[in-house]
Structure 1
């Protein structure tokens, strides 16, 4: 009779014959763990029965452990648990096999339970225990439990073990805690490529692609670490995600060098890189070279072709053909197909067909269709329709997903609407999504509300590089560069979280602060950590050095750049212009034109600014002709710079002609034109232009009112001056500064109302500075008011006690001197006069004067002067 036991014994016999073993003891098979691999469940049950029959199961722990492992490999952990509970004495291997068996069968909670039981009975643990339970915690995404286990690891001296650290890194990566994973990696010097791969892979999965690329860069600089196929497939995926084609090509070269290109996963990643970066010729070439292809490889190459077709407006006909084919085979109502069709039409420039496809959708409960239509409107810059569709989506009872919310937030520039959308994200719980959270604080930053932006940023649990860069850039671009630098210092980053975009953002903040010291520190940091020859950092360095006045360093970086874009040229030219190097600025501008680099409004404005302070009006006229030729005359920034240049030259009529050419003059344009009229003696025209500006809907700022008050001063309009001073406080909530009060003092002084000017200064809500008193002093000199002038001079000396000039002005202008006059006839007479009117004193009595001796009052340290043969 044939029984399973006989079949099992025959199997044992065949194995023993193959290995030249004794045929008399079948239990030898059970004493070797390799002999139980690949057994079926029935064969494992027979082995279990034999062990029980021979009464060696509970006395031979090695055989019992092999049986537990066999049950686990057959996915019968329930049998393994029964056997485990029956074993009287368990060793470390027993516990580890149970924890590992539960983990392999996705019973992660049971792995944790066995680990806790093991701790309670005081059993010894090794690196396999800790590594497996950490992997289980990672699968459960229980960070707290994982940290507890890692505490035991550190306490028991296993923290340097690669297997254990890889498990902890994997845990943090699965829980989207890349920074914590990096800390584990950097705890000790690590030469285990598995640990490094775990960080790289985790960063890619968490979309921290720049972190992954930086870790890979560190691996390459680490002499003993050799990347393998797993490493290459991860970093190539990162390059594809951020479309870093050049970096991807260099990694491809390394793959060829070490011979990892035959790996199907690496090959697929290479194809995907070239396809996503639009290099379809290279993608096809690499696809054909692959010795083996899987479905992912085919999908990558097909997706590349589809991406290229969708981005090409010439593929409109093909899109229609595919649409017809979809109708023919009956897939038109499929929501995924419909969403793709909407997206395709928008990318080929047929947004109206996207709307038709959306309108024909029957099932409008599919959020993906709404998200694609909203995204299509946003990408086509049809913002009003996108907002209307988002509102309609809410009315239809469809809950927006993170993609539709992020799309809407990206276009909002009105604070009220932005707050409403923010409130809705809080209501539906989308604020925890990284893309939504980043869009929220970017929206507040764009609306100029940096306080709300920072609050939203702090509430983002998982901040990626894009989040940090966006927040730092927001502070730098909206007038708070000091806060941008502070945020950079508070990042709490490990070295590898940095990328060139963050460094470029903080360098731009240094530019705004004119902090050369900090800028140099960032430059040194970038060089130290391998961020050299990165275009975006080089551009920021040229800009920083130029604005901070270190033009030599700016030109050194400029000349070492392999490719110089428009921004780099503009930054250097602007810096040279700003610091008075007019000739060099014009020379670089000439070289820029010869390099076929397109000239933008910023560059033109910089050159015009340089010409405004130079004595080269003919070059300014030539540049004006060039501006007209390239069509930038109507640009607001260029127009205002032309107005300023012509104003400095005194060509006020040309200023008016240029101003009238500007299509949409902004506040700077209006202010520049008002100031030009004021400084060139056309105060009434300036005030009329100010009224036109207000009627156009543009509100003035403090600089505008300086020009307006100056116009009132040049025209002698005292009442109008008071009116505009009060208006800036009452109507526009602008607190006047020293320049505004100085203009009013100048206005009163020109009108001869010196005592009123003195009272005005005394009643100022802020403490007057030297500018205000010097303005009054100048008016007193003109009108000969000695008493008020003495007061003004005294105030200047109090504010600037070390200024000898103020003391001399006071003594020379307002102290009385005795002039002894000797005439040709020999008569001697004297008179008292003030030094300012010395020429008048020289003609006392109509006599020709031979000599004048200054008899200075006591205490006045002034050389005596002789004037000979003066009329």
Structure 2
């Protein structure tokens, strides 16, 4: 008996006698008279009956008691129920057959397979095995087909067990069984196992088995394996590839763009006369189209005697890939005229050619045409229209397409619409659509979550989406995990970014790259380098982004040793195309670490020098005070046809500020005006500093006024310039302006402010600003701030107060503070000699102090 588990599912009838209930109806509801003698004499008369007729025949045979005595009739009745998709009746009949034979069992498995009841097919097979009944090739082949349906859990493992029985019972050489086994493993993605089954029999001459391996490899994207198996098949000599073989092999050639091999296979097709097959012909056209040989593709397309929708789609896709939208539209028109019914894949093929606004009209025409043929409601067509309008910059039309057929859509359509908003920068609408999607009860997929995460720059919103993805169980998806850690990194939360990285179940190359680059760009250079050291390179080689990020981290740490080690690693293991990016990072690293010789070697060997490469080396020379070399390189930069950027100009101006090349500085100022860089804050601040060093306070003010977006550095530079050139009152007024503008001062700003008070002799104001620095801005004074106060008191002649101030400092006075006090004392003694008319003594003291004959508070203007 089959068992109670199967039987309990079909208790609609207490016995097969219940099938007698109801009229015996034929086609159109008419009663049908069936002669049991005819059924018994020729049971094949049971085939082709309707369900009602089958039930009548069942009832007649049941009444005459011939059902139990004639297993052949019972088997044919099972087939009839199976054909009518009434497996409940088939199971009921099966239970009541007293003497089942192997055919009966096999027919039940076949019936379950036919009606997609694959789990019951397996159960019946297990029942046969438990009974110890003999099984034949049809039993094994049918249950292996059930396993290959894709609906059974652990299908590959079950298939291996069944195949073990095949070996044990001597059916391994049977072509039907082996073909089913190969098909099973291929569908489970186990092409290696499929190959082993193929070669379990020496000199296999079953073409079906070979074809199953080739097609299975193609479906699993193992195209090179498919071509190798095809080559082995051809070398056998006794095998003759058929249309199925050729179409699979040609598909593999097209996928890997092996045009020459494909031409050879094309020759074999012509030789064997199989080119008339529509699938082979389509595969040939696809080969030439995907290889870019559109003239030959069109030629082969026109030679095809029979065309189907796939053939048309292939030639259209070929023109689309070449960017020939005119030809793609032309073929589409031919297809419509031929009367061929267009599929939902035809429209995306054509629309993918609409990549620029110049063919907006054509895209609109196709959109209108989809309404005419009723394809506008197809999700694939809708998604392609959304993507097309987004690509050509008409996101409003993408949104219109989306709302045309109502809001309740497939998740893929929502994904395309949200992606369109993200790519066009309409982040607010993307968030609104994401929320709308959730309100409609549609769970987002990983693509939607990744798209939304990629645009979020708000930590609060990012945490919400992170929580939602956690609720949906998406964190196991590596793309979602990568987007989460990138979001935290972009929002400056490196701690949570690292936490998200560590919680990834599987880290791919993008995970490592995102984390290392994020750490490097957010000032965590040491962590970026440690993570790079932890990254294994057995299966992958670091790309230019990772190498550049790590080298920039070495630059930030000023670690020449680490930088050289990374450089050596790159020379040994990396040979990427984006060499300029890595070379720029190398020049930057060597320059910032002070190894200008190595920086120049990398610079000179680089064939294509971009703007960054020049800038890094020029700034390196400028930083090290090698002004002549920096200017010479700057001159070469201009001769190369490139324009200097703000970073380059500010670097040279900074070097000129400490040199005596004031004339060159003015020339460079003229160049910045010519190229429109004088308004850049970095350039303007450097000009202010340069003119300040030369005492040209008027030019300082002019340069400052030219800056469009003043930042803390530019305000601070101008304040210090006023202070250093004896314009204390102006410096303090500028400081008040800065605070009113909303810019928060820092410790460096207060050094300039206190210095201004010192030069202007404003003691009370100095005390006030020192207290405000602590009270209002929470800045802890440093040695320079205290030195400025001592200088202020010393200039005012309040030396005892200066000494008392030093004694009351909350930190131990540094040498700078004592030197300032001593200098004030010397100035005070010098002034005493001067007031007494003893100029020789006063001059000697000034010369010992290294002072010029310039009164404090004056400027050279």
TM-score by length of 2: 0.60
SS at match of 1:442: helix
CA distance in 2, matches of 1:99, 1:770: 91
Quote the Cα distance in structure 1 between the aligned partners of 2:822 and 2:253. 71
* Partner of residue 526, structure 1: 570
Q: Is the 8 A contact 1:413 1:443 kept in 2?
A: yes
Whole-angstrom distance in 2 between the partners of 1:588 and 1:201: 52
Contact 1:383 1:411 (8 Å CA) reproduced: yes
Residue 378 of structure 1: aligned partner: 422
Residues 668 and 470 of structure 1, relative CA distance in 2, 3 Å threshold: farther
Question: 1:840 aligns to what?
Answer: 841
Over 3 Å counting, the alpha-carbon distance change for 1:137 and 1:574 in structure 2 is farther
Q: Are 1:80 and 1:98, in contact at CA under 8 Å, matched by a contact in 2? A: no
Task: Give the counterpart of 1:418 among 454, 458, 462.
Answer: 462
Cα displacement string for residues 719-755 of structure 1 (whole angstroms, at most 9, x for unaligned residues): 3333333334333333333333333333333333334
Aligned to 2:671: 626
1:462 paired to 2:480: no
| CA offset digits 1:259-302 (Å, max 9, x no partner) | 99979999979976x9xxxxxxx675796799999767864653
The answer to which of 479-488 and 322-331 deviates more is 322-331
Partner of 1:505: 549
2:686 matched residue in structure 1: 641
Give, in whole Å, the separation in 2 of the partners of 1:692 and 1:459.
49
Q: In the alignment, which residue of structure 2 is the partner of 1:699?
A: 744
Matching residue within 695, 698, 701 for 1:653: 698
Residues 754 and 780, structure 1, Cα contact 8 Å, conserved in 2: yes
Looking at structure 1, the residues matched to 249 and 505 of structure 2 have their Cα atoms a distance apart, in angstroms, of: 28
SS of the residue 1:752 aligns to: coil
| Gap regions ≥5 residues in structure 1 | 5-69, 91-95, 124-132, 147-161, 168-193, 205-229, 238-250, 275-281, 786-831, 844-871
- On the 8 A contact 2:591/2:620 being kept in 1, the answer is yes
**CA gap 1:289/1:332 in 2 versus in 1, 3 angstroms:** closer
Change (3 A) 1:435 1:719: farther
Task: Give the structure 1 partner of residue 389 of structure 2.
Answer: 345
Once the two structures are overlaid, the 10-residue window that deviates more, 344-353 or 655-664, is 344-353
| Aligned twin of 2:588 | 543
Distance 1:474 1:363 in 2: 37
Sort the Cα spacing of 1:571 and 1:324 in 2 relative to 1 into closer, same or farther, 3 A: same
- 258 and 842 in structure 1: CA distance in 2 versus 1, 3 angstrom threshold: same
Q: Secondary structure at the match of 2:749?
A: helix
**RMSD across aligned C-alpha pairs, in angstroms?**
5.3
1:721 and 1:468, CA in 2 relative to 1: closer, same or farther beyond 3 A?
A: farther
Once the two structures are TM-superposed, the CA of residue 373 in structure 1 deviates from its matched residue by 4.0
Q: Which residue of 1 aligns with 2:335?
A: none
Work out whether residues 514 and 548 of structure 1, in 8 Å CA contact, stay in contact via their aligned partners in 2. Answer: yes
Alpha-carbon distance between aligned partners in 2 of 1:266 and 1:728, rounded to the nearest angstrom: 79
In the aligned structure 1, how far is the partner of 2:250 from the partner of 2:815? Answer: 67
Residue 100 of structure 1 contacts residue 111 of structure 1 at CA under 8 Å; is this kept in 2?
Answer: no
Instruction: Give the corresponding residue for 1:678.
Output: 723
Q: Deviations over 1:314-334 (max 9, x none)?
A: 222323323332333344444
- How many Å separate the matches in 1 of 2:265 and 2:678? 58
> How far is the alpha carbon of 1:492 from its aligned partner?
4.3
Q: Which residue in the other structure is 1:720 paired with?
A: 765
Task: Find the residue that maps to 2:679 and give its secondary structure.
Answer: coil
Aligned to 1:564: 609
Question: Matched residue of 1:639: which SS?
Answer: helix
What is the rounded CA distance, in whole Å, between the counterparts of 1:98 and 1:393 in structure 2? 44
1:302 aligns with 2:328: no
Q: CA deviation at 1:525?
A: 1.1
Other-structure match for 2:15: none
Q: For 1:491, which of 529, 535, 557 is the aligned residue?
A: 535
Query: Residues 46-95 of structure 1: CA distance to partner in whole angstroms, max 9, x if unpaired?
Result: xxxxxxxxxxxxxxxxxxxxxxxx9xx999877876776688999xxxxx
**Once the 2 structures are TM-superposed, how far is the Cα of residue 509 of structure 1 from its aligned partner?**
0.9
CA contact (8 A) 2:259 2:288 kept: no
- State how far apart, in whole Å, the 1-side matches of 2:705 and 2:458 are: 30
In the alignment, which residue of structure 1 is the partner of 2:631?
A: 586
Alpha-carbon distance in 2 for matches of 1:569, 1:307? 43
The number of residues matched between the two structures is 624
Shift of 1:484: 0.9
User: Against the structure 1 CA distance between its residues 532 and 375, is the aligned structure 2 distance closer, same or farther, given a 3 Å change threshold?
Assistant: closer
Is the Cα contact below 8 Å between 2:450 and 2:483 reproduced in 1? Answer: yes
Q: 1:690-739 CA distances to partner (integer Å, 9 max, x unpaired)? A: 22222222222333333233323322333333333333433333333333
* 2:521 aligned residue: 477
**Alignment partner, residue 101 of structure 2:** none
What corresponds to 1:782 in structure 2? 827
Secondary structure of the residue aligned to 2:780 is coil
What is the DSSP-based 3-state SS (H/G/I as helix, E as strand, rest coil) of the residue aligned with 1:496? coil
Give structure 2 stretches of 5+ with no counterpart.
Answer: 1-40, 44-109, 169-180, 197-213, 225-247, 267-281, 305-309, 326-349, 845-861
1:236-247 matches, cutoff 5 A: none
Alignment match, 1:440: 484
Please give the secondary structure, in 2, of the residue aligned with 1:732.
coil
1:256-405 equivalent positions in 2, closer than 5 A: 284=294, 299=317, 301-302=319-320, 309-358=353-402, 360=404, 362-394=406-438, 398-405=442-449
State the match for 2:709 in structure 1.
664
Q: Label 1:436 to 1:648 Cα distance change in 2 as closer, same or farther (>3 A).
A: farther
The answer to whether the 8 Å contact 1:367/1:398 transfers is: yes
1:231-278 CA-to-partner distances (Å, cap 9, x unmatched) read 9999998xxxxxxxxxxxxx98xx679999979999979976x9xxxx
Select 1:452's aligned residue among 472, 496, 500: 496
The 1:842/1:571 distance shift into structure 2, 3 A limit, reads: closer
Task: Report the Cα distance in structure 1 between the residues aligned to 2:782 and 2:295, rounded to whole angstroms.
Answer: 68
CA apart distance, 1:502: 1.6
Mapped pair 1:750 → 2:751: no
Identify the match of residue 687 of structure 1 among 728, 732, 747: 732
Select the residue among 592, 595, 598 that pairs with 1:553: 598
| Residue in structure 1 matched with residue 642 of structure 2 by the alignment | 597
CA contact (8 A) 2:437 2:443 kept: yes
Give 1:475 deviation, angstroms: 1.8
The answer on whether the counterparts of 2:558 and 2:592 sit within 8 Å (CA) in structure 1 is yes
Residues 83/385 of structure 1: CA separation in 2 closer, same or farther (3 Å cut)? closer
Distance 2:426 2:676 in 1: 26
How big is the shift at 1:493? 4.5
Contact persistence 1:287–1:301 (CA under 8 A): no
- Matched residue, 2:243: none
Alignment match, 1:93: none
How many angstroms apart in 1 are the aligned matches of 2:654 and 2:551?
24
Give the secondary-structure state (helix, strand or coil) at the position aligned to 2:540.
Answer: helix
Cα distance in 2 for residues equivalent to 1:201 and 1:77: 29
In structure 2, what is the Cα distance between the partners aligned to 1:623 and 1:517?
Answer: 36
Please say if 1:769 is aligned against 2:769.
no
Quick one: distance in 1 between partners of 2:264 and 2:649? 50
Partner of 2:14: none
State TM-score, norm by structure 1.
0.60
- Mean alpha-carbon deviation: is it higher for 410-419 or for 453-462? 410-419
- The aligned residue for residue 183 of structure 1 is none
- The structural deviation recorded for 1:387 is 4.2
Give the direction of change, closer, same or farther, for the CA distance of 1:137–1:743 in structure 2 (3 Å limit).
farther
Aligned pair 1:109/2:154, yes or no? Answer: yes
